[in-house]
Structure 1
Amino acid sequence: MKPLKTKSEIREFALSVRESGKTLGLVPTMGALHRGHLEIVRRALDENDVVIVSIFVNPTQFNNPEDLDKYPRTLESDLDKLRDISGDLHVFAPAVSEMYGDSVVSRKYNFRGLDQVMEGAFRDGHFDGVGTIVEALLRLISPHRAYFGEKDYQQLQVIRKLVESTRLPVEIIGCPIIREADGLAMSSRNGRLTKRLREEAAFIHKTLQEAKKRFGTKSALKVKQYVEEAFAAHPDFELEYIEIADARSLKPVQRKNRNKKYRAFLAAYLGGVRLIDNLALN
C-alpha cells in the first residue's frame, strides 16, 4: 500500500473512480489510527466501491503549538493497520506544503454559531482550520460520501454546515463513538496516559452515564452541577467544560423540550492530556 502524496495524483485517481461509475468514500484522519478509526474505515468499505483514507496532521486546527508538536506521526504503523483491513484501500498522505503551499493559514467561515461554543470557546480558530482542510479534501477528491466519528460531534455538525453552505455534492456520514471495554472513548491521546491515569479515565464515561440518568428527572442546570461537583471531587481531573446542548443547533439548553434531542459534552485534562467525550441524553 503506497500512499499517494500529491494533489495531482489523488485528483487523477479520484476522477478515474468516478468516471468508471463506482462510488467513492472518503475517511479523513490525522493518523495515529486506532480501532475507532478502523471501524469507520470498515463502514466506508461496506458502503462504497472504493475508499480513500487521508492521513494528514492539519496544523491550522491546533491553537496550541505544543499540542501540534506532540501529536503522533505514525504513518508506517497506520498503513500496516489499514492493510490488515483490506488491500483495496487507498491512502492520501500529503505534506503540509502540498496542501497549503507557502501560506499555512486557515480560511474564515461563518458556521452560524456552531463553532462559538464548547470546543470553539476554548480553541480559538480551531474550526476554521478544520473547515479549511475538510473543504480542500472534499473539493480535491469529490467523494460521494465522507465519514466522521461522533466523538468529535461538534466537528461533525460544523462539517455538515460547511457542506450545506458550500453546496458540495457529498453525503456526510456520522459514525458512532467506539469505546474501550471500560467506556473510555477511543482516542489517539489515550496512549499518552500513564497506566494509572488510563484506569482513572473511565470516570469520564461513568459520569456521563450518570448524567444521562439524571437528565430524565432533573433540569439541565442540575445535571451540569452534578458533573461539575463530581469532577471537582476527583483530584486527577481538571474539568474544562461541561455543556448540555441541543444535538442539532449545539445551543445550551435553557429549558428541556420533549421534541428535541440533547447531548452532554465535556472536555477535561487528565495528567496534562486533554480528553473529550459526549453522550446522547434522550
Structure 2
Amino acid sequence: MTGSRLVAVGHFQPARVVPNSELESMVDTNDEWIQRRVGIRERRWAGPDETVDVMATKAAQDVLAKAGVEAAEVDMVIVATCSALDRSPNMASRVALALGMTNHPATLDINTACSGFPHAVAIAQHAIGAGAARTALVIGAEKLSDVTDYTDRTTCVLTADGAGAFLLTADPDEHISPVLWGCVPEMGDAVRIERAEGDKFAQNGRAVFRWTTYELPQIARDVLDRAKVAPENLAAIVLHQANLRIIEPLARQIGAVNARVATDVVESGNTSAASIPLALSKMLEKEPLPSGAPILLFAFGGGLAYAGQVVLAP
C-alpha cells in the first residue's frame, strides 16, 4: 500500500465581513450574547456570484499555487459540502472544469455536513493507498448564507461562507493516520437542513453541546491512540469551528499541553465542512508549523456524523 502526504493547505473567504452588530438589526440578538454563547465576533458572507463551486475553485487555486503543482497533475477532486443548491453536475466536476483539468480526474462530492472534510481526507487517502489516485484535491466549501433562517436567533448568528483545501499526494511513507469515523443515528436530527423546514439550517444546539462535552474528549483520545500519537506531542488541534466553548476546553481535557488550538470561529463563524481546512490554512499562514508536526483534525455535525485523524504538517 502507498502512503499519503499533505503537501499544502489553502483557503478562500468572501470579502464581505459581517460583524455581530449587523445582525442586531435583523434579529433579537446582540454582540455580548453572541460572543458569550458561541465566541463569534464576525463572519463572512458570500455575494450572489460566489457560489459553492466558485469558492471551492478559489481555494483549490490557492492550494495549488502554494504547492507549486499544476491542475493537470491532479487525478482526484473531492468536495465536501452540504449547502450546494445544485445537484448535478456536482461541485467537484465544476471545479475540475474551472481549473481546466482535461486529464479526466475522478470527481465526487460527499455530504456528511460539518464532518465532511475529515471524511473526504480519508476517502482520498484510501484512494491513493489503493493506487486509484496519486494526487488529490480535497476541498470543503459552504455557502451557508443560502440555507440560513434569518428569523432564528439561535442559528443565524452562527453560519458563514468560505472554502478550504488540502493537496494530498502519494508518498512511500504514511503521513496521515487511520481515520476514526462513525455516527450517532439516534441524534441524526440534532443538526439538519430539511425540505420540511424550508431547506434551512436548524439544530438542537443543547443536544449537540451535551454530546461534545461528554463524548468528544474520549473520541479525540481514541483518534490519537489510533494514530499512536501522545496528546502532549500534538503540535496543533483543528476542530470543526462550531463553538468556542467546545473548542477551547478540548486541549486541556485530552492533555494536549503543547498544542496550538485553532479558534478561527471567532472571525470566520461556522463554515461547516469548510471550517477545518480554512482554520488550518489561516493558522499556517500566520505561523507555520515544523514540517512533520502532528495535527489533530476532528469534526462532527449532521447525522450525527463524526470523523478525525492526525495529519503531519507539510
Fold conserved (TM > 0.5)?
no
Looking at both structures, which has the greater relative contact order when contacts are Cα pairs under 8 Å and sequence separation is at least 6? 2
Task: Identify the structure with the greater strand proportion.
Answer: 2
TM-score by length of 1: 0.30
TM-score by length of 2: 0.28
